[in-house]
Structure 1
Amino acid sequence: MRRRAAVLFRRTVRLATVLAVAALVASPAGAEGQDKVIRIGFQKYGNLILLKGKGWLEKKLQPLGYGVEWKEFPSGPPLLEALNVGSIDFGHAGETPPIFAQAAGAPFVYVAHEPPAPEGEAILLPKDSPIKTVAELKGKKVALNKGSNVHYLLVRALEKAGLKYTDIETVFLAPADARAAFERGSVDAWVIWDPFQAAAEVATNARTLTNGSNLAPNHQFYLATRKFSDGNPQVIDAVIASIAELDDWAKTRVTDVAAELSPGIGIPAPILEIALKRQSYGVKPLDESVVAEQQRIADTFFYLGLIPKSIAVATVVRKPAS
């Protein structure tokens, strides 16, 4: 019995040791010698995926005792849902996903934004479509990613053309599925953002019915959970400072950026160059005018019944350090 107990004890100790080592290896924080991490959500296109590749943020956070855990998302809405449930601490999205998330009670704050890039989103038509004006979309099927940045572009374009949102048939599809439906003629128009917009223009000779110019600013926002932002202001400042450095590097190196992004996105670099030339650079805190623009989107969506309640955007904007 004693020998059996001793053997069992040794096996238990070995198993505990193996599990402890495995946990240490699996932990991103442990791998970097850090006891804390910031979990950052990124999409395949944009500054955060470039920042991930550069490794600049990891170096900037080392003195603060923080590492970085990167998590990829296909678009803004699922990224905001991850913020909502606490799976990530920081991320980025276009104008519309934060509106839906705030209306759903997600505990986040706007941290910063990039300047407007209205040409980086558009309503596209097949090359041989007889449609010439937005007004001619009445009764037509229009594909878009629900809750994405282009949702507001569609609403504003219809409004300007004298149409109601209910005058068209919306078909909610993710970009890949929407592209397939667009190419086989299952929908009459597609509302989409770069780089998918540029890819469709080149590959299918899609026509632009209208883009965001004079309709929707198309900001890119950086967001954080309120808990992480309030508890770790220095970490958030370091992330924004790294994004600013990336902005300065990227804005004059379009060809280099396109080459870096191409393998991960699966879109040829020359097409990405088209999209990158429509992108904006210069990360900064939200000012009153940007907050007012977001509030207009929120009010419009509430009026249309797209969100369940009225929201005040200013209440979820990070206050600058005093």
Structure 2
Amino acid sequence: MKRRRNSFNRRLAISSVLLLSLVLSACSANGGQSVKEADSPPGASATRDITIRIGFQKYGTINILKADGALDKRLADERNIKIDWIEFPGGPQLLEALNVGSLDVGHTGEAPPIFAQAAGAPLVYLAHEPASPESEGIIVPKDSPIQTVADLKGKTVVLNKGSNVHYLLVKQLEQAGVAYKDVNVKFLPPADARAAFEKGIVDAWVIWDPFLAAAQTATGGKLLADGTGVVSNHEFYLATRAFAEKYPDIVDILLEESNKIDIWSKEHPKELAEKLSPQLGIDVESLILAAGRRAYGVQPIDGELIQIQQAIADTFYDLELIPKVIDINDAILK
């Protein structure tokens, strides 16, 4: 398949198609009302209210957008569109909702869209954030005798199945010469994993920020390894294909506002932490730590990113974590 090599502006415009098509599906879910096309003269209002369903996780640019409120205001003022913000404990759960038509747009790391695509989800990639390998890691209790990733052989490790950290564990074990099957991997969402970690039920926890930072701050847990030199850890903007292909201008607005808040966040880590703390229920100190470990700035999906995602997908297939070979190009807008 041909890979898209468009300019950033064109990519955002095509991405816009994704988000506008999301609006359509949202309206269908709300009583089957049709959505007025974005062809009204300047200043004209939509004849009916529209609601876009945007999924978010704790942390990430879309989460910051929700806390800031600028996207809500702009869509309401310019398009008479409302946002229904829906929180998920992780990317896999978010994309399950997108797959069954309960969600229009969302954000996840690298692994969840691969599992979702393998399950037949009608998703497309809109854009991505820069690599943030330090924003995920393998943590062990402060008094643990485990000193290296190689020491995880025969141990119990907990993580959120299908998330970015799933791939982190695979690659770290590979680098340490430990077979994936030689580690007892258990799957739990972040809140349950944190409880198991604190009770000493598991030997290690593979997790992303801000949960990683919060666990380090609160428990004194030791960072065994992060993604540096091993994985990229990109955050992706995703939508249903139908939404993206029908409403490009809305996708444009989403990505433009995401980039704006990214620029602000990079320059104001303390203010960002203070803004998010009440919403996330995580202390400011932990959020400042997390903010300093991630990269910012909306970027287009290009050939290099497609190759990175394809390598992850092929690895998961080889490990029989997904049931079939997938082609990442099938989830790229043409």
TM-score range, shorter chain: 0.7 to 0.9
Deviates more, 1:48-57 or 1:156-165: 48-57
Please name the residue that 1:315 is paired with: 330
Please name the residue that 1:99 is paired with: 114
Deviation by residue 1:172-193 (Cα, 9 ceiling, x = unmatched):
1111111121122111111011
2:100 to 85, 102, 114: 85
**1:36 and 1:65 in contact (8 A); partners too:** yes
Please name the residue that 2:20 is paired with: none
Larger Rg: 1
Whole-Å separation in 2 of the counterparts to 1:59 and 1:266? 24
**1:34 and 1:67 in contact (8 A); partners too:** no
Whole-Å separation in 1 of the counterparts to 2:172 and 2:309? 17
Please name the residue that 1:142 is paired with: 157
Offset of residue 34 of structure 1:
4.9
What aligned pairs does 1:190-229 form with structure 2 within 5 A after superposition?
190-229=205-244
Offset of residue 53 of structure 1:
2.8
- Using CA pairs below 8 Å that are at least 6 residues apart, which structure has the higher relative contact order? 2
Q: Does the alignment pair 1:305 with 2:320?
A: yes
Whole-Å separation in 2 of the counterparts to 1:265 and 1:94? 19
Deviation by residue 1:117-145 (Cα, 9 ceiling, x = unmatched):
00000011111111122111111100111
What aligned pairs does 1:27-46 form with structure 2 within 5 A after superposition?
34-46=48-60
The 3-state SS of whatever aligns with 1:237 is helix
**1:39 and 1:69 in contact (8 A); partners too:** yes
Q: State the percentage of identical aligned residues.
A: 55
RMSD: 1.8
TM-score (normalizing by structure 1): 0.87
Q: Does the alignment pair 1:66 with 2:81?
A: yes
Please name the residue that 1:50 is paired with: 64
Please name the residue that 1:167 is paired with: 182
**1:34 and 1:66 in contact (8 A); partners too:** no
Q: Does the alignment pair 1:130 with 2:135?
A: no
**1:294 and 1:313 in contact (8 A); partners too:** yes
Whole-Å separation in 2 of the counterparts to 1:270 and 1:142? 26
Instruction: Give the 3 Å change call, closer, same or farther, for CA 56–289 of structure 1 in structure 2.
Output: same
TM-score (normalizing by structure 2): 0.84
The 3-state SS of whatever aligns with 2:296 is coil
Offset of residue 55 of structure 1:
2.4
Please name the residue that 2:279 is paired with: 264
What aligned pairs does 1:176-191 form with structure 2 within 5 A after superposition?
176-191=191-206
Whole-Å separation in 1 of the counterparts to 2:118 and 2:190? 24
Offset of residue 64 of structure 1:
3.4
1:151 to 166, 172, 180: 166
Please name the residue that 1:14 is paired with: none
Which 4+ runs in 1 deviate beyond 3 A? none
Please name the residue that 1:242 is paired with: 257
Offset of residue 148 of structure 1:
1.0
Instruction: Give the 3 Å change call, closer, same or farther, for CA 55–267 of structure 1 in structure 2.
Output: closer
Offset of residue 37 of structure 1:
2.5
Gaps of 5+ in 2: 1-29, 37-45
**1:144 and 1:150 in contact (8 A); partners too:** yes
Whole-Å separation in 2 of the counterparts to 1:239 and 1:101? 22
Q: Does the alignment pair 1:293 with 2:297?
A: no
Instruction: Give the 3 Å change call, closer, same or farther, for CA 33–52 of structure 1 in structure 2.
Output: farther
The 3-state SS of whatever aligns with 1:285 is coil
Whole-Å separation in 2 of the counterparts to 1:69 and 1:93? 18
The 3-state SS of whatever aligns with 1:242 is helix
Aligned amino acid, residue 241 of structure 1: E
Aligned amino acid, residue 55 of structure 1: G
Whole-Å separation in 1 of the counterparts to 2:68 and 2:198? 36
Instruction: Give the 3 Å change call, closer, same or farther, for CA 184–67 of structure 1 in structure 2.
Output: closer
Whole-Å separation in 2 of the counterparts to 1:250 and 1:148? 24
Offset of residue 248 of structure 1:
1.3
The 3-state SS of whatever aligns with 1:251 is helix
Whole-Å separation in 1 of the counterparts to 2:104 and 2:288? 30
Q: Does the alignment pair 1:108 with 2:123?
A: yes
**1:114 and 1:282 in contact (8 A); partners too:** yes
Offset of residue 208 of structure 1:
1.1
